[in-house]
A = this chain, B = another copy of it.
Amino acid sequence: MSEAMELPAQDTPLRDNVDFLLARASALLSSTLNATLAPLGLRMRPFAILALAAFEPKMNQREIAEYLRLDPSQVVTLVDGLESQGWVQRLPDPRDRRTNLVAATAEGLDRLEQARAVTREAEDRLHSDLTAEDLQTLASLLRRIAFI
Protein backbone atom coordinates (compact mmCIF):
# COMPACT_ATOMS: atom_id res chain seq x y z
CA MET A 1 0.00 0.00 0.00
CA SER A 2 1.16 3.53 -0.75
CA GLU A 3 1.85 5.86 2.10
CA ALA A 4 1.20 9.59 1.71
CA MET A 5 4.48 11.41 1.14
CA GLU A 6 5.89 14.58 2.61
CA LEU A 7 6.87 17.69 0.63
CA PRO A 8 9.48 17.03 -2.04
CA ALA A 9 11.91 19.68 -3.23
CA GLN A 10 9.77 22.32 -4.89
CA ASP A 11 11.69 23.91 -7.72
CA THR A 12 8.76 25.34 -9.70
CA PRO A 13 5.64 26.23 -7.77
CA LEU A 14 2.70 26.24 -10.15
CA ARG A 15 2.14 29.96 -9.60
CA ASP A 16 5.56 30.70 -11.16
CA ASN A 17 5.09 28.40 -14.16
CA VAL A 18 4.40 30.37 -17.32
CA ASP A 19 2.32 27.58 -18.86
CA PHE A 20 0.11 27.20 -15.82
CA LEU A 21 -0.44 30.96 -15.86
CA LEU A 22 -1.17 30.88 -19.59
CA ALA A 23 -3.76 28.13 -19.17
CA ARG A 24 -5.37 29.85 -16.20
CA ALA A 25 -5.53 33.27 -17.86
CA SER A 26 -7.00 31.69 -20.97
CA ALA A 27 -9.64 29.78 -18.97
CA LEU A 28 -10.64 32.99 -17.21
CA LEU A 29 -10.78 34.82 -20.52
CA SER A 30 -12.92 32.28 -22.33
CA SER A 31 -15.43 31.80 -19.51
CA THR A 32 -15.76 35.58 -19.12
CA LEU A 33 -16.13 36.27 -22.85
CA ASN A 34 -18.49 33.35 -23.42
CA ALA A 35 -20.75 34.62 -20.66
CA THR A 36 -20.50 38.15 -22.06
CA LEU A 37 -21.34 37.02 -25.59
CA ALA A 38 -24.16 34.63 -24.64
CA PRO A 39 -26.95 37.27 -24.76
CA LEU A 40 -25.92 38.00 -28.36
CA GLY A 41 -26.14 34.34 -29.36
CA LEU A 42 -22.38 34.11 -29.78
CA ARG A 43 -19.42 32.37 -28.19
CA MET A 44 -15.70 32.94 -28.61
CA ARG A 45 -15.10 30.71 -31.61
CA PRO A 46 -18.04 31.88 -33.77
CA PHE A 47 -17.17 35.45 -32.75
CA ALA A 48 -13.62 34.97 -34.03
CA ILE A 49 -14.88 33.54 -37.32
CA LEU A 50 -17.35 36.38 -37.72
CA ALA A 51 -14.49 38.84 -37.16
CA LEU A 52 -12.41 37.13 -39.84
CA ALA A 53 -15.37 37.09 -42.22
CA ALA A 54 -15.70 40.84 -41.70
CA PHE A 55 -12.03 41.81 -41.70
CA GLU A 56 -10.74 39.30 -44.26
CA PRO A 57 -13.70 38.50 -46.48
CA LYS A 58 -11.59 36.51 -48.91
CA MET A 59 -10.59 33.76 -46.48
CA ASN A 60 -11.75 30.25 -47.23
CA GLN A 61 -12.60 27.68 -44.57
CA ARG A 62 -9.21 26.01 -44.58
CA GLU A 63 -7.49 29.36 -44.06
CA ILE A 64 -9.86 30.16 -41.21
CA ALA A 65 -9.10 26.77 -39.65
CA GLU A 66 -5.35 27.43 -39.77
CA TYR A 67 -5.65 30.98 -38.50
CA LEU A 68 -7.76 29.95 -35.49
CA ARG A 69 -6.04 26.59 -35.00
CA LEU A 70 -9.27 24.68 -35.51
CA ASP A 71 -9.90 21.47 -37.36
CA PRO A 72 -11.59 22.07 -40.75
CA SER A 73 -14.56 20.00 -39.58
CA GLN A 74 -15.07 22.37 -36.66
CA VAL A 75 -15.13 25.29 -39.08
CA VAL A 76 -17.91 23.57 -41.03
CA THR A 77 -20.11 23.42 -37.93
CA LEU A 78 -19.29 26.94 -36.79
CA VAL A 79 -19.89 28.47 -40.22
CA ASP A 80 -23.16 26.49 -40.45
CA GLY A 81 -24.29 28.15 -37.24
CA LEU A 82 -23.30 31.65 -38.35
CA GLU A 83 -24.88 31.10 -41.75
CA SER A 84 -28.16 29.87 -40.28
CA GLN A 85 -28.31 33.11 -38.27
CA GLY A 86 -27.73 35.04 -41.48
CA TRP A 87 -24.47 36.55 -40.22
CA VAL A 88 -22.12 35.07 -42.81
CA GLN A 89 -22.43 33.72 -46.33
CA ARG A 90 -20.49 31.02 -48.14
CA LEU A 91 -19.50 32.47 -51.51
CA PRO A 92 -18.13 30.47 -54.43
CA ASP A 93 -14.50 31.05 -55.31
CA PRO A 94 -14.42 31.61 -59.08
CA ARG A 95 -10.84 30.29 -59.15
CA ASP A 96 -11.48 26.97 -57.35
CA ARG A 97 -14.86 25.32 -57.12
CA ARG A 98 -13.82 23.26 -54.07
CA THR A 99 -13.48 26.25 -51.76
CA ASN A 100 -15.95 28.44 -49.90
CA LEU A 101 -15.11 32.05 -49.23
CA VAL A 102 -16.71 33.15 -45.97
CA ALA A 103 -18.02 36.70 -45.90
CA ALA A 104 -19.99 38.63 -43.29
CA THR A 105 -23.45 39.92 -44.18
CA ALA A 106 -24.77 43.34 -43.20
CA GLU A 107 -26.54 41.70 -40.24
CA GLY A 108 -23.29 39.95 -39.36
CA LEU A 109 -21.35 43.21 -39.35
CA ASP A 110 -24.01 44.72 -37.14
CA ARG A 111 -23.90 41.82 -34.69
CA LEU A 112 -20.10 41.92 -34.75
CA GLU A 113 -20.11 45.56 -33.70
CA GLN A 114 -22.41 44.77 -30.77
CA ALA A 115 -20.19 41.86 -29.81
CA ARG A 116 -17.06 43.98 -30.02
CA ALA A 117 -18.62 46.60 -27.78
CA VAL A 118 -19.48 44.16 -24.98
CA THR A 119 -16.24 42.22 -25.24
CA ARG A 120 -14.19 45.41 -25.20
CA GLU A 121 -15.77 46.25 -21.85
CA ALA A 122 -15.12 42.78 -20.47
CA GLU A 123 -11.53 42.86 -21.72
CA ASP A 124 -10.96 46.24 -20.12
CA ARG A 125 -12.01 44.76 -16.80
CA LEU A 126 -9.82 41.68 -17.28
CA HIS A 127 -6.82 43.83 -18.18
CA SER A 128 -7.35 46.67 -15.74
CA ASP A 129 -4.09 45.83 -13.93
CA LEU A 130 -2.03 46.31 -17.10
CA THR A 131 -0.99 49.53 -18.84
CA ALA A 132 -1.25 49.96 -22.60
CA GLU A 133 2.48 49.36 -22.80
CA ASP A 134 2.17 46.17 -20.72
CA LEU A 135 -0.50 44.93 -23.13
CA GLN A 136 1.73 45.61 -26.14
CA THR A 137 4.59 43.75 -24.48
CA LEU A 138 2.30 40.87 -23.62
CA ALA A 139 0.93 40.68 -27.17
CA SER A 140 4.38 40.66 -28.68
CA LEU A 141 5.58 37.88 -26.36
CA LEU A 142 2.44 35.81 -26.94
CA ARG A 143 2.75 36.21 -30.70
CA ARG A 144 6.10 34.41 -30.48
CA ILE A 145 4.62 31.32 -28.82
CA ALA A 146 1.18 31.27 -30.47
CA PHE A 147 2.22 30.41 -34.04
CA ILE A 148 4.70 27.54 -33.66
Mark A residues whose CB is within 8 Å of B.
2-8, 10, 13-30, 33, 44, 48, 51-52, 54-55, 57, 67-69, 86, 89, 91, 103-109, 123, 125-127, 129-130, 134-135, 137-139, 141-148
Contact = CB atoms under 8 A, between A and B. Distances in A.
Nearest to A9: B55
Contacts of A44: 23
A85 to B, nearest CB: 10
Nearest to A25: B146
Contacts of A2: 86, 89, 105-108
Contact of A21 (B3, B28, B142): B142
Contacts of A20: 48
